[in-house]
Chain A
Amino acid sequence: MNEQTASKSAAAIDKARAEGRAALVGYLPAGYPTVQESIEAGIALARNGADLIEIGIPYSDPVMDGPVIQAATTEAISNGFRVSDVFDVVAGITATTDAAVLVMTYWNPVMRMGVDEFSRRLAEAGGAGLITPDLVPDEAAEWFDASDKYGLDRVFLVAPSSTPERLDMTVKASRGFVYAVSIMGVTGTRTSVSSAAEEVVARAHAAGADRVCVGLGVSNPDHVREIAAYADGVIVGTALVAALRDGGVDAVGQLTKNLSAGLGRAAAEA
């Protein structure tokens, strides 16, 4: 991995590692249900044990997302979410917590704003970098330039279907951590974590990745415990979005606390 720039994501994962545990990465969409509440929910994530926070940009065509996140992001857009609001969400969370805040986004909204401008504004807001579900390194020339210029992390995905060559290339292209997709599918809670996940993590580590986090289908403390045994971080999305939908910010805090118990430590440091 490329470590020439100080990586906020890497620092957050390393801090968890120093405490003898995996890092918890929590996903929530920006602007859901409103911009202000998404900031509060993000803060609740950080205060209850999330080391990294992944803020999703609601997008009209989210092909990697299942029904729960689709419904939330569709609602955010119909509530008037604008892409530039994401910088307010990032700034709102980083101003009050120590969590590393990444933005998860499909590529067209970034392209539309301009990759350089988007990156500059994200860096100004205190963001750590981008997770790009539909951008592979092969198409990322502009993003390489901008992320180097503004010191942002480039989190690309690897999948059980990735060939050794692609896995190697993607690990080298990434900075901060590598996002290992646990299963061939879209976001959503699942009853068990695929055994493919452990193998992908092992392959990514073997390819030189220092930090590999696992996402897709992770929804409860048992999953977290299972993954924390072999990965550097555990990513939870849909379950948190459902908690926010059903129980508001408090429910997000409570679930985060429960999930972080799966990392094997006493919850809540703040």
Chain B
Amino acid sequence: MVDAPTAGSEENAADAFLQGGPSLRNASGPYFGNYGGRWMPESLIAALDEVQDTFEKAKADPDFIAELKDLNKNYSGRPSLLTEAKRFSAHAGGARIFLKREDLNHTGSHKINNVLGQALLAKRMGKTRVIAETGAGQHGVASATAAALLGLECVVYMGAEDCRRQALNVARMQLLGATVVPVTNGSQTLKDAINDALRDWVSNVEHTHYLLGTAAGAHPFPAMVRYFHEVIGEEARGQILEQTGKLPDAICACIGGGSNAIGLFHAFLDDASVKIYGFEAGGEGVETGRHAAAISLGRPGVLHGARSYLMQDEDGQTIESHSISAGLDYPSVGPEHSYLADIGRVTYEAVTDTEAMDAFSLLCRTEGIIPAIESSHALAGAIKIGHRLTEGKEDPSEITVIVNLSGRGDKDVETAAAWFNMLDDEGHVKGTTLSTRKPKGPSDRASEVPGEANSADADEDQN
């Protein structure tokens, strides 16, 4: 364990570690330095052991690898593209910005990589039901998708506040046959959804797998979720070498729990020349206290089964996080990120709501791509990094940066419309209510939604 670097010494610490230390790749857990572990009720330890055992066997099983590869290719649409964002680059100091297009995956984000892997494991364990938590709804949608594909029952816990922010994704999950349970405890966001999912899991563990959506939680989840997302970085590394003939100068990703980030970072961890940046949600500004920047401002603690950086008060009570992005609205972070922060291999910075939304708008208008607000934090970070790395450079285009575009922004259109003042007092998009024709009467077509018993159950549970 290398001591945490002091401000300004981050590059030296990283270089020293990389020159003298062992590989940072394939860390297996349960511990990442002082982080990780299993701070969980005894009732769930046997289930965690079962997941770990099944995962280890599956990794060594060519049939499993082939099945996952086939789904990634023929269902998700992998490999995802690496798109050079030429017009966007002009706003990042002229550095060449490349977007890893996880937004083009089936279901619209990186989340599908992990859920397909875990759903296959659930089948191997003989589980008939999966549960999931979701913040932005991307992981919930992905889980509902994988469950539909593999014939598993699916229940998704979602904070009531997030249900409101991401109503479209609630409907998507229900259309896919999942039951969405709004969580009204605590801050009614991602952390509370995880609490309720854990309560469900401990009660139904015999036939239920908890399909955790981020690289956090108790061992083996951090290492396992990373494993299923490593494909992001592996593809990106090959693609950038092919397109530019060299490794990138920097890679960037947004950090909530940190799954898309660790998936991208992993392939580059041992490439000493590649600077790695994670961008946390700075919310209304880290000085306001209303943010979700666990690494930047938290201190180590235990939440949801792992020791990691955590936003907590003097009593160890979790502080509610704040972010315009539901998917980053989490007061802790995956333990491997805490470790990578301490040793200085990855630099973590906060990006405010405003900076993220500016980057959101910029990508829409310069590249014709509507990014998820989560991913917009990485884009905003890339703008800063681009300026920083090209400073004083004669030819800024020598600098190349990969940004993980972890998801598409369709789900965020309503939030964005409100942010950019595109709505009237009634909440309608301005200029869309001029028609004088009467709207067609309400018709309840719920019974016509194709599907089986699950959709009926879902309706009941919603009422």
Using CB atoms and an 8 Å cutoff, list the residues of chain A in contact with chain B: 59-64, 66, 70, 74, 77, 82-83, 107-113, 133-136, 138-139, 156-163, 166, 170, 181, 184-186
B292-324 interface mask toward A, CB cutoff 8 Å, 1 = contact, 0 = none? 000000000111110000101011111000000
For residue B46, which residues in chain A have a CB less than 8 angstroms away from its CB? Answer: 159, 161-163, 166
Query: How many angstroms from the CA of A108 to the CA of B299 in the assembled complex?
Result: 11
In the complex the two chains form, is A166's CB within 8 Å of B45's CB? yes
14 contacts between A and B (CB under 8 A): A61-B304, A63-B199, A83-B315, A108-B302, A109-B315, A112-B316, A113-B316, A138-B38, A157-B43, A161-B44, A163-B46, A181-B42, A184-B204, A185-B202
For residue A66, which residues in chain B have a CB less than 8 angstroms away from its CB? Answer: 199
Known contacts A64-B202, A111-B301; A70/B38 CB under 8 A: no
In the complex the two chains form, is B38's CB within 8 Å of A185's CB? no
In the complex the two chains form, is B317's CB within 8 Å of A60's CB? yes
For residue B204, which residues in chain A have a CB less than 8 angstroms away from its CB? Answer: 184
Which of A113, A133, A139 counts the most chain B CB atoms within 10 A? A139
Residues of chain B in range 31-70 having any CB-CB distance to chain A below 8 Å: 37-47, 49
Tell which of B191, B199, B314 touches A186, judged by Cβ atoms closer than 8 Å: B199
Closest 10 CB pairs of A and B: A112-B316, A109-B316, A159-B43, A161-B46, A185-B203, A83-B315, A60-B318, A108-B316, A60-B317, A63-B198
In the complex the two chains form, is B41's CB within 8 Å of A63's CB? yes
In the complex the two chains form, is B203's CB within 8 Å of A184's CB? yes
For chain B, which range describes its interface: under 10, 10 to 19, 20 to 34, or 35 or more residues? 35 or more
For residue B451, which residues in chain A have a CB less than 8 angstroms away from its CB? Answer: none
Query: How many angstroms from the CA of A61 to the CA of B303 in the assembled complex?
Result: 8
Tell which of B39, B312, B318 touches A134, judged by Cβ atoms closer than 8 Å: B39
For residue A185, which residues in chain B have a CB less than 8 angstroms away from its CB? Answer: 202-203
For residue A156, which residues in chain B have a CB less than 8 angstroms away from its CB? Answer: 42
Give min CB distance, B29 to chain A, whole Å: 13
In the complex the two chains form, is A112's CB within 8 Å of B42's CB? no
In the complex the two chains form, is B202's CB within 8 Å of A186's CB? yes
Tell which of A82, A107, A158, A181 touches B315, judged by Cβ atoms closer than 8 Å: A82
In the complex the two chains form, is B41's CB within 8 Å of A64's CB? yes
Closest to B302 in A: A108
Query: How many angstroms from the CA of A1 to the CA of B286 in the assembled complex?
Result: 48
In the complex the two chains form, is A61's CB within 8 Å of B205's CB? no
> B415 in the interface, Cβ–Cβ < 8 Å?
no
> B195 in the interface, Cβ–Cβ < 8 Å?
yes
In the complex the two chains form, is A162's CB within 8 Å of B314's CB? no
Query: How many angstroms from the CA of A186 to the CA of B192 in the assembled complex?
Result: 15
For residue B199, which residues in chain A have a CB less than 8 angstroms away from its CB? Answer: 63-64, 66, 186
In the complex the two chains form, is A135's CB within 8 Å of B39's CB? yes
In the complex the two chains form, is A112's CB within 8 Å of B191's CB? no
Known contacts A108-B303, A161-B46; A70/B185 CB under 8 A: yes
Query: How many angstroms from the CA of A111 to the CA of B299 in the assembled complex?
Result: 11
For residue B186, which residues in chain A have a CB less than 8 angstroms away from its CB? Answer: 60-61, 74
Query: How many angstroms from the CA of A138 to the CA of B39 in the assembled complex?
Result: 9
Query: How many angstroms from the CA of A111 to the CA of B300 in the assembled complex?
Result: 9
Tell which of A108, A113, A166 touches B42, judged by Cβ atoms closer than 8 Å: A166
For residue B203, which residues in chain A have a CB less than 8 angstroms away from its CB? Answer: 184-186
Known contacts A134-B40, A184-B202, A185-B203; A112/B45 CB under 8 A: no
Give min CB distance, B284 to chain A, whole Å: 21
For residue B43, which residues in chain A have a CB less than 8 angstroms away from its CB? Answer: 157, 159-161, 181, 184
For residue A161, which residues in chain B have a CB less than 8 angstroms away from its CB? Answer: 42-47, 205
For residue A170, which residues in chain B have a CB less than 8 angstroms away from its CB? Answer: 42
In the complex the two chains form, is A139's CB within 8 Å of B37's CB? yes
In the complex the two chains form, is A107's CB within 8 Å of B45's CB? no
Contacts A61-B304, A134-B39, A159-B43 given; 10 further ones with Cβ under 8 A?
A60-B186, A61-B195, A107-B39, A108-B312, A111-B301, A112-B314, A134-B40, A139-B39, A161-B46, A184-B43
For residue A60, which residues in chain B have a CB less than 8 angstroms away from its CB? Answer: 186, 317-318
Which of A66, A77, A111, A166 counts the most chain B CB atoms within 10 A? A111
Query: How many angstroms from the CA of A162 to the CA of B205 in the assembled complex?
Result: 13
Tell which of B39, B45, B317 touches A109, judged by Cβ atoms closer than 8 Å: B317
In the complex the two chains form, is A111's CB within 8 Å of B302's CB? yes
In the complex the two chains form, is A133's CB within 8 Å of B41's CB? yes
Known contacts A184-B202, A185-B203; A162/B318 CB under 8 A: no
Give min CB distance, A27 to chain B, whole Å: 16
Query: How many angstroms from the CA of A133 to the CA of B44 in the assembled complex?
Result: 11
> B410 in the interface, Cβ–Cβ < 8 Å?
no
> B424 in the interface, Cβ–Cβ < 8 Å?
no
For residue A181, which residues in chain B have a CB less than 8 angstroms away from its CB? Answer: 42-43
Tell which of A74, A107, A186 touches B302, judged by Cβ atoms closer than 8 Å: A107
> B367 in the interface, Cβ–Cβ < 8 Å?
no
Query: How many angstroms from the CA of A158 to the CA of B44 in the assembled complex?
Result: 11
For residue B391, which residues in chain A have a CB less than 8 angstroms away from its CB? Answer: none
Query: How many angstroms from the CA of A218 to the CA of B38 in the assembled complex?
Result: 28
For residue A186, which residues in chain B have a CB less than 8 angstroms away from its CB? Answer: 199, 202-203
> B206 in the interface, Cβ–Cβ < 8 Å?
yes
Give min CB distance, B213 to chain A, whole Å: 17
Closest to B197 in A: A63
In the complex the two chains form, is B42's CB within 8 Å of A139's CB? no
Tell which of A63, A109, A159 touches B195, judged by Cβ atoms closer than 8 Å: A63
Which of B43, B47, B302, B303 counts the most chain A CB atoms within 10 A? B43
For residue A159, which residues in chain B have a CB less than 8 angstroms away from its CB? Answer: 41-43, 46
In the complex the two chains form, is B316's CB within 8 Å of A110's CB? yes
Closest to A187 in B: B199
Which of B204, B301, B302, B305 counts the most chain A CB atoms within 10 A? B302
Closest to A166 in B: B45
Tell which of A61, A64, A74, A133 touches B191, judged by Cβ atoms closer than 8 Å: A61
Give min CB distance, B1 to chain A, whole Å: 16
Give min CB distance, B7 to chain A, whole Å: 24
Query: How many angstroms from the CA of A159 to the CA of B206 in the assembled complex?
Result: 13
Query: How many angstroms from the CA of A203 to the CA of B42 in the assembled complex?
Result: 15
Which of B186, B195, B316, B318 counts the most chain A CB atoms within 10 A? B316
Tell which of B202, B206, B301 touches A112, judged by Cβ atoms closer than 8 Å: B301
Closest to B47 in A: A161
Residues of chain B in range 198-217 having any CB-CB distance to chain A below 8 Å: 198-199, 202-206
